[in-house]
Amino acid sequence: MIGRLCRTAVLPILLSGILRAVGIYIFVSPNNFAPGGINGIAVLLEYLTPLSSGWFLLMLNVPLFFVAFFFLGKREALLSTLSMLLTSGLLILFDYIPGMPSVRYIADGGMGILAAIAGGLFLGGALAVMIKSCGTAGGTGVLASLVNKKWRNLSVSWLTSGFDACVVIASFFVYNRGAGFTEKLTPVLLALVSLFATSKVCELILQGFKSAYRFEIVTNHAAEIAEQIMKRTHHGVTEVSGIGMYSHTEHKVLVCIIRKRHIAEIQRIIREYPDTFASFTATSEVYGRFIR
């Protein structure tokens, strides 16, 4: 079973593991902040001990694997754990590669904010790849899903955020002990910046880069408006018949998917017909001839 899963998801496993390891090793650990989740716990423990965060990731994820395997799903458990094992191995290996320790301090000299953003980019990419390939992010997501099985009224996303918040708060007491309030608050702020970057990158990848906008136009001038839209934006338009339930009169509904840059153009077209009603919403991951 493991062999078959590896063959079907080898690239996501490799990519997710590598992105996570690089983000933690180069940008997170040397700048003394914990980005939340299991990764953050491992980074905190690395700061307190002489051991690499890779060893702590390994120790923390083994029990989570068994929890996920028996309670949440075999495929998700195997894929997320294999990715974490790769991350753990790379973090341990990096310490033995000549020249790697010097790369770790690339963001020193008051540039911690850049390290937090860069670390968030790598961790967000790793998170999105895992969610897209196996439907789970592993780590604290496993704990959140397990709690959700017991208490259905608790959202998995809110539980995961709660676990992340606990790690971020813990960093206030771990880093810069004996320093002033400002110095102790710095790791917390860096962690929040990193978490924000992680969520935004993950959201962007999951929702897709081919975003667009869907216009729905209720009008009695369907032919004229459709002709102008097609002529001025070069996008197709679909006409649907509809009945206004208040007035009980028949109208035509035009539906079109457009690029963001065409929003103002369509608004100008619609203003030429004062009795027309329109609304538009953001869409994502558009397929078909629209992409070309």
Contact 76, 134 (CB under 8 A): yes
Averaged pLDDT score across all residues of the chain: 80
- pLDDT above 80 (res 291): no
- pLDDT above 50 (res 157): yes
Contact 54, 38 (CB under 8 A): no
User: How far is it, in rounded angstroms, from Cα 217 to Cα 223?
Assistant: 12
pLDDT digits 0-9 by tens, 32-42: 888 888 888 99
Q: Which residues contact 13 (CB under 8 A, 6 or more apart)?
A: 6, 79, 82, 83, 86, 133
Tokens encoding 206: 């999951």
Q: Where are the domains of the chain?
A: 2-207, 212-291
pLDDT digits 0-9 by tens, 233-276: 888 899 998 888 887 888 889 999 888 888 888 999 999 998 89
Write the DSSP string, 151-206. Answer: -TTS-HHHHHHHHHHHHHHHHHHHTTTTS-HHHHHHHHHHHHHHHHHHHHHHHHHH
Q: Determine how many CB atoms are found less than 10 A away from the CB of residue 166.
A: 14
pLDDT digits 0-9 by tens, 60-89: 888 877 777 776 667 767 777 787 888 889
- pLDDT above 60 (res 99): yes
Query: What does the pLDDT average to over 195-215?
Result: 80
User: How far is it, in rounded angstroms, from Cα 263 to Cα 281?
Assistant: 11
Query: What does the pLDDT average to over 203-216?
Result: 77
| pLDDT at residue number 208 | 66
* Comparison of pLDDT for 262 and 286, the residue scoring more: 262
| pLDDT at residue number 84 | 82
| pLDDT at residue number 292 | 44
Place 26 in a pLDDT band, splitting at 50, 70 and 90: confident
**Amino acid in the structure at residue 113:** I
Q: Determine how many CB atoms are found less than 10 A away from the CB of residue 284.
A: 13
| pLDDT at residue number 103 | 46
- 3.65.10.10, 3.30.1440.10, 3.40.50.300, 3.30.70.120: which CATH number matches 212-291? 3.30.70.120
Which residue in the block uniquely carries the two structure tokens 């753990």? Answer: 88
Write the DSSP string, the chain. Answer: -HHHHHHHHHHHHHHHHHHHHHIIIIIIGGGT---SHHHHHHHHHHHHSSS-HHHHHHHHHHHHHHHHHHHT-HHHHHHHHHHHHHHHHHHHHHTTSTTHHHHTTTTTTT-HHHHHHHHHHHHHHHHHHHHHHHS---THHHHHHHHHHH-TTS-HHHHHHHHHHHHHHHHHHHTTTTS-HHHHHHHHHHHHHHHHHHHHHHHHHHH-S--EEEEEEEES-HHHHHHHHHHHH----EEEEEE-TTT--EEEEEEEEE-GGGHHHHHHHHHT-TT-EEEEEEE-S--SGGG-
Of 142, 12, 118, 131, residue with least CA distance to 65: 142
Query: What does the pLDDT average to over 7-21?
Result: 80
* Comparison of pLDDT for 276 and 283, the residue scoring more: 276
When mean pLDDT is compared across 53-57, 63-67, 88-92, the lowest value belongs to 63-67
- pLDDT above 80 (res 156): no
Query: What does the pLDDT average to over 165-187?
Result: 85
- pLDDT above 60 (res 219): yes
- pLDDT above 60 (res 125): yes
* Comparison of pLDDT for 124 and 11, the residue scoring more: 124
- pLDDT above 70 (res 222): yes
Query: What does the pLDDT average to over 125-133?
Result: 81
* Comparison of pLDDT for 222 and 159, the residue scoring more: 222
